[in-house]
């Protein structure tokens, strides 16, 4: 299935592609022949990742500094990208999340997640979709969800809300844009450790027994997620649209989106978490 040229000739944009899961998925896309563009807010991080890919795979990876929370910035980025030719695939990966008691969240904290995850994803999706439709071209949008998008989750409520909105967008546009030859699909990963987000979402008190909450008794490997994403954006998945594929080792059937022990945390434990996050 994963022949070397599976994604050859495909121009792909990954939002938040400089680190974490976005970087791992981008590496797999490049290995399979894709022409890759990565975007994010930190230019130096993007350039470092692009250079790594160039040195290791000989791939020409383009970078675009862009804050997807700004609709104007997204339009400017898409105009720059389209000057070199249209995209074939958009991967909505940029996200923000943190653990917190919902009743203590400020409006600014709520917006900080919604603006990236929901608004940013919508801006990028509509910007690509409009260009594809105007040109009469097909296209594919893949969005990275969370288990909380399917079933909710305590203490990460803004993310659950935003990702559920992205899931609704995926299902809705799969119908609206299907006659235009545009597919929308999504992936809902379980626990896949990353250097950045993992520290925010998996403090020691939460991560200690994490694997016990996964029937397969382990966390996911990045290459497993990257392979699934590669298949879904390839022509081999050309009849799949509107679907959210879960890759979680069976976690949602055993333990849901979050461990119940957090419901009994004291204010002191929450303050320790906030202190570590600020530090």
How far apart are the two ends of the chain, measured CA to CA in Å?
Answer: 45
Residue 92: per-residue pLDDT: 98
The Cα–Cα gap between 216 and 15 comes to 30
Q: How far is CA 62 from the centre of its chain?
A: 19
Q: What is the pLDDT of residue 254?
A: 80
Residue pointed to by tokens 């594919």: 140
Residue 181's pLDDT is 98
Contact in structure between 150 and 244 (CB atoms under 8 Å): yes
Place of tokens 């976690």: 251
Strands annotated E in 18-74: 35-40, 62-65
Tens digit of pLDDT at every position of the chain (279 positions)? 678 899 999 999 999 999 999 999 999 999 999 999 999 999 999 999 999 999 999 988 999 999 999 999 999 999 999 999 999 999 999 999 999 999 999 999 999 999 999 999 999 999 999 999 999 999 999 999 999 999 999 999 999 999 999 999 999 999 999 999 999 999 999 999 987 655 555 555 555 567 888 899 899 999 999 999 999 999 999 999 999 999 999 999 885 545 556 667 888 888 888 787 766
Q: Decide: helix, strand or coil at residue 231.
A: helix
| C-alpha dist (Å) from residue 82 to 30, 76, 184, 233 | 20, 10, 20, 19
* Whole-number pLDDT of residue 195: 75
Q: Which residue in this structure is represented by tokens 């074939």? A: 88
Other residues' Cβ atoms within 10 Å of the Cβ of residue 29: 28
Extract the tokens encoding 26.
């981008």
- Residues 214, 217, 221: CA angle, nearest 5 degrees: 90
Give 182's strand partners: 139
- What whole-number distance in Å separates Cα of residue 144 and Cα of residue 93? 5
On whether the CB atoms of residues 222 and 247 are closer than 8 A, the answer is: no
Enumerate domains of the chain plus CATH numbers.
11-278 (3.40.50.720)
What's residue 198's pLDDT?
Answer: 55
């Amino acid at each position: 299935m994963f022949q070397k040229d599976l994604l050859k000739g495909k121009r792909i944009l990954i939002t938040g592609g400089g680190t974490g899961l976005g970087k791992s998925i981008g590496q797999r896309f490049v290995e399979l022949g894709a022409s890759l563009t990565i975007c994010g807010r930190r230019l130096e991080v993007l350039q470092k990742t692009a250079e790594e890919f160039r040195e290791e795979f000989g791939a020409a990876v383009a970078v675009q500094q862009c804050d997807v929370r700004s609709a104007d910035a997204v339009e400017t980025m898409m105009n720059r990208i389209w000057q070199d030719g249209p995209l074939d695939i958009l991967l909505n990966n940029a996200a923000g999340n943190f653990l917190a008691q919902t009743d203590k969240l400020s409006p600014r904290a709520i917006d900080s997640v919604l603006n990236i995850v929901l608004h940013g994803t919508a801006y990028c999706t509509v910007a690509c979709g409009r260009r594809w439709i105007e040109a009469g071209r097909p296209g594919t949008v893949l969005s990275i969800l969370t288990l909380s998008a399917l079933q909710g989750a305590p203490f990460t409520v803004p993310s659950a809300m935003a990702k559920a909105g992205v899931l609704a967008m995926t299902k809705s546009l799969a119908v609206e844009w299907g006659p235009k030859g545009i597919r929308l699909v999504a992936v809902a990963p379980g626990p896949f450790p990353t250097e950045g987000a993992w520290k925010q979402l998996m403090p020691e008190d939460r991560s200690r027994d994490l694997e016990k909450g996964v029937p397969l008794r382990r966390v996911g490997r990045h290459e497993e997620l990257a392979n699934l994403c590669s298949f879904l954006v390839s022509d081999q998945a050309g009849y799949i649209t509107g679907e959210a594929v879960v890759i979680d080792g069976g976690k949602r059937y055993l333990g849901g989106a979050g461990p119940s022990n957090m419901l009994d945390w004291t204010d002191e434990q929450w303050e320790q978490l906030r202190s570590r996050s600020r530090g």
